[in-house]
Amino acid sequence: MKRIVIVGGGISGLTVAYRLHELSCEKEIPIDMTLLEGRSRLGGVIETQSKDGFLLEYGPDALMTDRPWSINLCKRLGIESELIGMQKEADHSYIVCKGKMCRIPTGFYLLAPSNIKALVQSHFLSSAGKLRLAAELFIPKRKSKDDESVGSFIRRRFGREVLERLGEPLLAGIYTAHPDQLSMQAVLPHFREMESKYGSVTRGLWALREKHGMKDCTEENSRKMFVTFKDGMRRLIHALIENMPDVSFATSTPVEKIAFDHMRILEVTIQGGAVIEADAVCLALPAMRSSEIVNSFSPRLAEKLADIKYESVVTVNVAYDELAFPKRLDGAGFVIPSVENRRLVGSIFSSIKFDGRAPKGAVLIRTFLGNAIQRNNVDLDDQEMRQLVTEELRDILGVTREPLFIDIQRYEMSIPQYGLNYQKLLKAIESERAECPGLFLTGNAFAGVGLTSCIHQAELIAEKMFLQFCETTENHVQTVGQV
Ligand SMILES: Cc1cc2nc3c(=O)[nH]c(=O)nc-3n(C[C@H](O)[C@H](O)[C@H](O)COP(=O)(O)OP(=O)(O)OC[C@H]3O[C@@H](n4cnc5c(N)ncnc54)[C@H](O)[C@@H]3O)c2cc1C
């Protein structure tokens, strides 16, 4: 029986294990599978806690449904019926503009309006900013096929104001990076394609709208983009674990290194010195952790993995009595452009966004701090952070009472920075990895930060491992391919 070790028990590692388990059952080829997790619990950054009738998400709070992979996984796990969509009141979001909450009009697709009404209603832009945004239709397309920063693309096509007021806060919320440091090829390749195919992103969006009827960019559709579980994101982790009884899970088992023995069998060394032999190993870890583990085995791969930089993020769940607000909250939340000089990245109105997040008469807000633009804030101690969040929410939302409680969760170096020429770096990593028979890599550094992308990437890697190690009688047959 082939022995496979998966290192890392976040969504990526668990999905690799589950897909291998599925293939093993389907093809009736048993696998001896072990998943090693450094911490005392599985789930990685996915963490849900119940507290005083509130349901707190520390890490991700939703799955994106724009691509099918996460919903497909839920279907296969038998938990699709437990998914809930966003509530009606959460069908819009806000941008803080000159200290005030400004509603993002329906019809905005990230940075570009898919209709004229959306453009006219964008109160967070000056008249000059709107004209410059409209001029995107006539800006000649870029000839070079080289990578470009997202900041440069937005500035070039939509103007500085759209970058500062819309692009930067929206992208900082997802990638924790400044747009000038993000790779267009890695982050917004479809916008580049629209530019090259239609000569303009706006024109590309109109063409899409035409193709799909009036369906895209409506409030209802934007609500359907995000789903979660009635019991929070932890449900996905529990379902994965419950559905693979043949996998051995070892928590509190940090892996230190991997190496080949004299028979070219992989040896996985755990902190404390215990060694596990394996035919194949998948590292489903942040890239810098994988880099440390492969260092003695392939210094060149380690060096390339270490080139992937990460940023930290802090989530602060703040619970209030609903009477603390001058008016009833609505919307999914708000983002704050850095030109506003505030100390938060943005907030999600958790109890408006999804049902069952706060008891009756209470409100739950999840606030984000820290990214490449406001790095200093993540170093504040808990007391300073509590004060900062309370003051900022008081100022922005007019809150008049103290919070019922504040819960702080820190995710250090958790979000990979998809920098300029990122695809080139990934290719270089893949060609080094292909030189290490039996070694596979996955995680949020490889094909997208969101859960849906992590799931897809992990499934592809599992299929590759199965094909190369379980369906063939020969060990260590490797093909050089793109991860
Ligand atoms: C605060 C926050 C909010 C987010 N919100 C969303 C959202 O709403 N929707 C969305 O789609 N995405 C969201 N994301 C992104 C998404 O959640 C992550 O990209 C994804 O969960 C990463 O999963 P992973 O398994 O690749 O990594 P991780 O979850 O980081 O898992 C890696 C695991 O490896 C373990 N490990 C590390 N070193 C070792 C070692 N040496 N030995 C053994 N184990 C080790 C770690 O303990 C960890 O459990 C969010 C991310 C964060 C941080």
Report how far ligand 1's centroid is from the alpha carbon of 285 (Å). 8
Asked whether residue 437 falls in the same domain as residue 289, the answer is yes
CB 345 within 8 A of CB 175: no
Asked whether residue 304 falls in the same domain as residue 423, the answer is yes
CB 268 within 8 A of CB 36: yes
Residue with tokens 């001058």: 326
pLDDT in tens, the chain (483 residues): 999 999 999 999 999 999 999 999 999 999 999 999 999 999 999 999 999 999 999 999 999 998 999 999 999 999 999 999 999 999 889 999 999 999 987 767 666 776 667 777 778 889 999 899 889 999 999 989 899 999 999 999 999 999 999 889 988 888 888 899 999 999 999 999 999 999 999 888 888 777 765 454 455 566 678 999 999 999 999 999 999 999 999 999 999 999 987 677 899 999 999 999 999 999 999 999 999 999 988 999 999 999 999 999 999 999 999 999 999 999 999 999 999 999 899 999 999 999 999 999 999 999 999 876 777 788 899 999 999 999 999 999 999 999 999 999 999 999 999 999 999 999 999 999 999 889 999 999 999 999 999 999 999 999 999 999 887 654 443 433 333
Residue 255 Cβ contacting ligand 1 at under 6 Å: yes
CB 469 within 8 A of CB 311: no
The angle that helices 451-465 and 69-77 make with each other, rounded to 10 degrees, is 70
The CATH number that applies at residue 39 is 3.50.50.60
Question: Is 227 within the bounds of a domain?
Answer: no
Report how far ligand 1's centroid is from the alpha carbon of 47 (Å). 10
Report how far ligand 1's centroid is from the alpha carbon of 97 (Å). 32
Residue 155 Cβ contacting ligand 1 at under 6 Å: no
What pLDDT is recorded for position 474? Answer: 46
What pLDDT is recorded for position 376? Answer: 78
Residue 453 Cβ contacting ligand 1 at under 6 Å: no
Question: Is 246 within the bounds of a domain?
Answer: yes
Phi/psi class of residue 247: alpha, beta or left (left: φ > 0; alpha: ψ in -120 to 50)?
Answer: beta
Residue 67 Cβ contacting ligand 1 at under 6 Å: no
User: Counting atoms of ligand 1 from 1, which one is nearest the CA of 14?
Assistant: 25
What pLDDT is recorded for position 224? Answer: 72
Cβ–Cβ contacts within 10 Å for residue 50, how many? 11
CB 119 within 8 A of CB 113: yes
Tokens matching residue 81: 């019926």
Residue with tokens 């596979």: 440
Residue 419 Cβ contacting ligand 1 at under 6 Å: no
What pLDDT is recorded for position 223? Answer: 64
Question: Is 316 within the bounds of a domain?
Answer: yes
Report how far ligand 1's centroid is from the alpha carbon of 15 (Å). 12
Question: Is 483 within the bounds of a domain?
Answer: no
Residue 11 Cβ contacting ligand 1 at under 6 Å: yes
Report how far ligand 1's centroid is from the alpha carbon of 318 (Å). 22
Asked whether residue 436 falls in the same domain as residue 290, the answer is yes
Instruction: Give nearest CA residue, ligand 1 atom 35.
Output: 8
What pLDDT is recorded for position 477? Answer: 39
Asked whether residue 438 falls in the same domain as residue 355, the answer is no
Three-state DSSP class for residue 347: strand
Report how far ligand 1's centroid is from the alpha carbon of 236 (Å). 13
The CATH number that applies at residue 324 is 3.90.660.20
Asked whether residue 195 falls in the same domain as residue 184, the answer is yes
What pLDDT is recorded for position 219? Answer: 55
Phi and psi, residue 265, nearest 5°:
-95, 140
Residue 284 Cβ contacting ligand 1 at under 6 Å: yes
Domain boundary among 182, 217, 252: 217
Residue 471 exposure: Cα atoms within 13 Å on the Cβ side: 13
Asked whether residue 302 falls in the same domain as residue 424, the answer is yes
Domain boundary among 416, 432, 459: 416
Instruction: Give nearest CA residue, ligand 1 atom 1.
Output: 59
The total domain count for the chain is 3
Strand stretches in 21-65, DSSP E: 31-36, 48-51, 54-57, 63-64
Question: Is 277 within the bounds of a domain?
Answer: yes
> Distance between CA atoms of 82 and 235, rounded to whole angstroms?
9
Report how far ligand 1's centroid is from the alpha carbon of 454 (Å). 9
What pLDDT is recorded for position 15? Answer: 98
What pLDDT is recorded for position 270? Answer: 96
Asked whether residue 408 falls in the same domain as residue 347, the answer is yes
What pLDDT is recorded for position 114? Answer: 67
Residue 12 Cβ contacting ligand 1 at under 6 Å: yes
Report how far ligand 1's centroid is from the alpha carbon of 288 (Å). 13
> Distance between CA atoms of 8 and 286, rounded to whole angstroms?
9
Instruction: Give nearest CA residue, ligand 1 atom 8.
Output: 60
Residue 232 Cβ contacting ligand 1 at under 6 Å: no
β-bridge partners, 407: 317
CA separation, residue 229 to residues 56, 87, 353, 449 (Å)? 12, 13, 12, 20
Residue 39 Cβ contacting ligand 1 at under 6 Å: yes
Q: Provide the residue range defining the domain that includes 353.
A: 62-68+77-90+310-416
Asked whether residue 208 falls in the same domain as residue 259, the answer is no
Question: Is 428 within the bounds of a domain?
Answer: yes
What pLDDT is recorded for position 475? Answer: 42
Question: Which residues 6+ apart lie within 8 Å of 156 measured at CB?
Answer: 139, 142
Residue with tokens 């005392």: 40
Residue 286 Cβ contacting ligand 1 at under 6 Å: yes
Asked whether residue 241 falls in the same domain as residue 298, the answer is yes
Where helices occur in 244-381 by DSSP H, the ranges are 287-294, 299-306, 350-353
Asked whether residue 295 falls in the same domain as residue 194, the answer is no
The CATH number that applies at residue 158 is 1.10.3110.10
Report how far ligand 1's centroid is from the alpha carbon of 212 (Å). 34
Asked whether residue 427 falls in the same domain as residue 281, the answer is yes
Residue with tokens 């939509």: 158
Question: Is 223 within the bounds of a domain?
Answer: no
User: Counting atoms of ligand 1 from 1, which one is nearest the CA of 443?
Assistant: 26
Pocket test for ligand 1, best of 451, 452, 457, 483 (most atoms within 8 A of CB): 451
What pLDDT is recorded for position 115? Answer: 67
β-strands 333-335, 94-97 pairing: parallel
Asked whether residue 174 falls in the same domain as residue 263, the answer is no
Question: Is 99 within the bounds of a domain?
Answer: no
Question: Which residues 6+ apart lie within 8 Å of 466 measured at CB?
Answer: 19, 20, 23, 24, 27
